[in-house]
Amino acid sequence: MDLKECGYSLANRKQMRKKSIHPCQSTDKDVIKEAHAENVMTNLSNAYASDLLPSKEGEDLTKCFLLRVVNILLHYIEKTFDDKSKILDFHHPHQLLEGLDGFDLELSDHPESLEQLLVDCTDTLKYGVKTGHPRYFNQLSSGLDVIGLAGEWLTATANTNMFTYEIAPVFTVMETVLLKKMCGIIGWRETEADGIFSPGGSISNLYGILVARYKQYPEIKARGMAVLPCIVLFVSEQGHYSIKKAAATLGIGTDNVIEVKCDERARLLSVLWPQLAAPCSGPSTRSMTSQIFVRHTSSGCMWMADSVTWNPHKLMGVPLQCSAVLTREKGLLGACNQMQAEYLFQPDKVYNINFDTGDKTIQCGRHVDVFKLWLMWKAKGTYGFEVQIDRYMELAKYFYKVLKKKDNFKLVFDAEPEFTNVCFWYFPPRLKHIPKSFERDQELQKIAPKIKAQMIVEGTAMLSYQPCGDKVNFFRMVFSNPATRQTDVDYLIDEIQRLGKDL
């Protein structure tokens, strides 16, 4: 699109301003049509960031620029959900660094035009990964929820900070409402429980351990680990690696993380806890991590935990980042973390300062992660989330049944799924009839990475793989993408066979 083609220029922008056209305020349909079209068609090669608001008379240009960005994003969203589009246009890191078709990542002393920035936006999306694509199965956090997206756009526009009610009145109250709801679902008494949103599940897990340590040894806050006996963490052998990260960070040490055997479904039954802890003296506190939601949660043993990590950015499909740590005991997070900085948490404010929750955290500035979750909850209702997760469960069971019938696929654990993930190997014809042996496994180990590499290069699907203990690389299918349908599952199976049959 150039000046000639669209028939508009920056001069028109100024003319528009003179005519006092305000698209989003006007109720005159023709005026709206005109203004929107002008915005979308205007060429911005001669406009710069310094011409935008708060620059004087930058209003129309700001609208025009943002609408052009939104047009790029809407186009991307349309492509994301189109199963005929590629998930990614793969390039190696060095290719991106060298610059691809004029997409120059290097930073200069001088500004680029707004038109060039729009090209940069398009290129950024072009060389990225469509994590909302129906055939993106790569991560537990996947999918693109349109309501959550709208929530994130609004959050960015509000651009505030969760530390005080003073500057985030609506969002801090929304956090309170959400935490209460979540504690209720876990099965805790809402008035006695507490929590906080944190920048991800690993940090939430760290909080769980941090408050557990504080609960048993409050002197740690002032005097440090030097005054404590040796602290030991018991963790499922299938526990998330963030527990070890937290142990290293908190000064406990990874050697003091004791892995506990699980059953064949990787379950660590809560009834085992007393026996496990028997060789160690001293008190204990229990943390849990949860990706599940609502009906699934309440049937479990979550309420027995002293703290729970809940990641709405996983199965609930909330855009990343959205994670909460919840504690059964009120006041513990505050007591453990508060430092009462006088420049933020003044006691002589005009409102109830119990809503200045920022001092409960290990952060100072804190991104608003609650609004998108709140808006999605409004949009779906609690039942809507349940329906969504039930769909994943059905897809997992369907996938399991299809794989079971195919003799070139083998399940890592051969029983109907109790959750939304299904792990399996693909055997190319040359390996299919070879009995398990070290040599066979050495070959099998290479199959998943090779298929995955080809999938990425062709951009047809994305699926993760990993080894685990004595099990060589297997595919790890996880259903958490609302765009995925049975046809996509069928496609994936065909695609693995197509890419793998000659390996």
Give me the least distance between CB of 316 and a second copy, in Å please.
13
Residue number, 58 or 272, with CB nearest to a second copy = 58
Residue number, 331 or 449, with CB nearest to a second copy = 449
Three-class secondary structure of residue 5 per DSSP: helix
Residue number, 179 or 305, with CB nearest to a second copy = 179
Residue number, 176 or 270, with CB nearest to a second copy = 176
Strands annotated E in 60-150: 136-137
Give me the least distance between CB of 58 and a second copy, in Å please.
8
Give me the least distance between CB of 432 and a second copy, in Å please.
22
Nearest residue to 144 via CA among 153, 333, 334: 153
Residue number, 178 or 493, with CB nearest to a second copy = 178
Nearest residue to 176 via CA among 357, 312, 368, 328: 357
Give me the least distance between CB of 124 and a second copy, in Å please.
5
Residues in the chain: 503
Give me the least distance between CB of 261 and a second copy, in Å please.
18
Residue number, 13 or 452, with CB nearest to a second copy = 452
Residues 6+ apart with CB under 8 A from 418: 265
Give me the least distance between CB of 123 and a second copy, in Å please.
8
Sign of the torsion formed by the C-alpha atoms of 138, 139, 145 and 151: negative
What is d(CA 44, CA 11) in angstroms, rounded to the nearest whole number? 11
Residue number, 348 or 407, with CB nearest to a second copy = 348
Task: Say if CB 53 and CB 101 are below 8 A apart.
Answer: no
Q: Is the peptide bond before 388 cis (omega within 30 degrees of 0)?
A: no
Which of 11-14's residues contact partners 24+ apart within 8 Å by CB, and which partners? 12/38, 12/42, 13/38, 13/42, 13/60, 13/61, 13/64, 14/57, 14/60
Residue number, 230 or 301, with CB nearest to a second copy = 230
Residue number, 5 or 101, with CB nearest to a second copy = 5
Residue number, 256 or 486, with CB nearest to a second copy = 256
List residues bridging with 468 in a β-sheet: 471
Place of tokens 């100024």: 14
String of DSSP letters for 131-169 = TTSTTEES-SS----HHHHHHHHHHHHH---TT-TTT-H
C-alpha distance from residue 208 to each of 34, 158, 286, 289, 366 (Å): 55, 30, 8, 9, 18
Residue number, 434 or 453, with CB nearest to a second copy = 453
Give me the least distance between CB of 341 and a second copy, in Å please.
4
Give me the least distance between CB of 41 and a second copy, in Å please.
6
Task: Say if CB 142 and CB 131 are below 8 A apart.
Answer: yes
Give me the least distance between CB of 230 and a second copy, in Å please.
6
List residues bridging with 233 in a β-sheet: 257
Give me the least distance between CB of 272 and a second copy, in Å please.
25
CA 266 to chain centre: 23
What are 173's two structure tokens? 């109250």
Give me the least distance between CB of 186 and a second copy, in Å please.
15
CA 9 to chain centre: 40
